[in-house]
Amino acid sequence: MYQLDQHIYFYLLAVIPVLVLMFLLLQLWKRRARNRFGDSGLLRRLSPDRSGFKPVLKLVMWCLAFACLSIALVNPKIGTKLETVKREGVDLVFAIDVSKSMAAEDIAPNRLEKAKRLTSEIINSLVSDRIGIIAYAARAYPQLPITTDYAAAKMFLQNMNTDMMSSQGTAIGQAIDLATSYFDDQDQTNRVLVIISDGEDHSGNFEEAIAKARTEGIRIFTIGVGTEKGGRIPLRENGVIQSYKKDQNGDVVITRLDNSILQQIAELGEGGYVNGSNTEEVIDYVTDTLSRMDKKEFEAKQFADFKDQFQWFLGGALLLLFIDVFLLERKTAWLRKLNLFNEKEEEL
């Protein structure tokens, strides 16, 4: 297991292609200058010790040294010890609506991106709770099983989009049924399902699914994303809006936030509903709700004793620069005898 302290220093690697470009421009300028000075064949005879390979080798040394220095600034760390620790928390499953209506841009940048941001911010506020993720449209699919790996959860969140499922609709009942199977700890007294949706086009009999979830001790909370005024559903191709979704009569479809459905689901699930337009209010509501729940103790394995590894890369960079000092741009006598790089000098 490894950690990276300062990811921002990876941007320094962008200097390497700049160095390569400057080197190529310098070589081009030198060649033109030599051509203006005299015949290239005659110049090679006048300067037989000039190497064509050494400048390239020095450039490679500089690029490698700069790459090592950048990685040293990032300061990678390696976990050297795996420990089992006791943690207390609540099992929390997020069911995120990825139907086409979630592409509406009535809330910036669009409903799904807002849902993903809300989920990410809630995860950031958690301390030791276990989380899972479900994506649903016409059907529900597991994305991430119950885990304490928050970094993995955020990675799965980033990959979610409205095109990940071919069939459309909003089968909330299937999402609740799937969430019921997520909770693997029979002793966990507090199980929470958070549904993030615009509440539109919910099909099926979700009352039965909610009743089953309640028998399993699952409380259901809902977060609404979108506006009651609504917005159009863009149809994109290669990231560019080509048109907007239309109904059978050819009229542009306007999708709206349906608070009543989400409130009904929360009421039947003995949870609560909150509008997702204000991120801070949502975070405060969720954290306050979770803080009032009993915590279940469980074991989790995690790496400890992370040790810095920057010194290896810093040492490598210094070594490469030290070698570069003694690496001259003229031919090396013993290498010239071996003629490894086809640099055998021509006799006058």
262 with 271: CB under 8 angstroms?
no
Sheet hosting strand 140-147, strand order edge to edge: 140-147, 130-136, 91-97, 191-197, 218-224, 273-275
Separation in Å, CA 224 to CA 169, 179, 196, 263: 17, 19, 6, 9
Tell me the per-residue pLDDT of 103-140, one tens digit each, with 9 for 90 and over. 999 998 899 999 999 999 999 998 888 899 999 988 88
71 with 312: CB under 8 angstroms?
no
Separation in Å, CA 144 to CA 92, 101, 108: 12, 23, 26
Tell me the per-residue pLDDT of 196-241, one tens digit each, with 9 for 90 and over. 999 876 655 788 999 999 998 899 999 999 998 999 988 887 777 7
Tell me the per-residue pLDDT of 71-85, one tens digit each, with 9 for 90 and over. 999 888 876 665 665
DSSP 276-302: TTSHHHHHHHHHHHHHTSPPEEEEEEE
In the predicted model, is pLDDT for residue 339 greater than 70?
A: no
Average pLDDT over residues 141-152: 89
In the predicted model, is pLDDT for residue 41 greater than 80?
A: no
Torsion of CA 170, 174, 180, 183, to 10 degrees: -70
**Domains of the chain: residue spans and CATH:** 2-75+309-338 (no CATH), 87-301 (3.40.50.410)
Give the list of residues 6+ apart from residue 275 with CB closer than 8 angstroms, or none: 223, 224, 259, 281
Tell me the per-residue pLDDT of 155-210, one tens digit each, with 9 for 90 and over. 899 889 988 876 666 788 888 999 998 887 666 668 899 999 998 766 557 889 99
**Letter for the amino acid at 119?**
T
Q: Residue 270: its pLDDT value, please?
A: 93
Q: Residue 347: its pLDDT value, please?
A: 43
Tell me the per-residue pLDDT of 277-319, one tens digit each, with 9 for 90 and over. 999 999 999 999 988 887 766 655 555 566 788 888 899 999 9
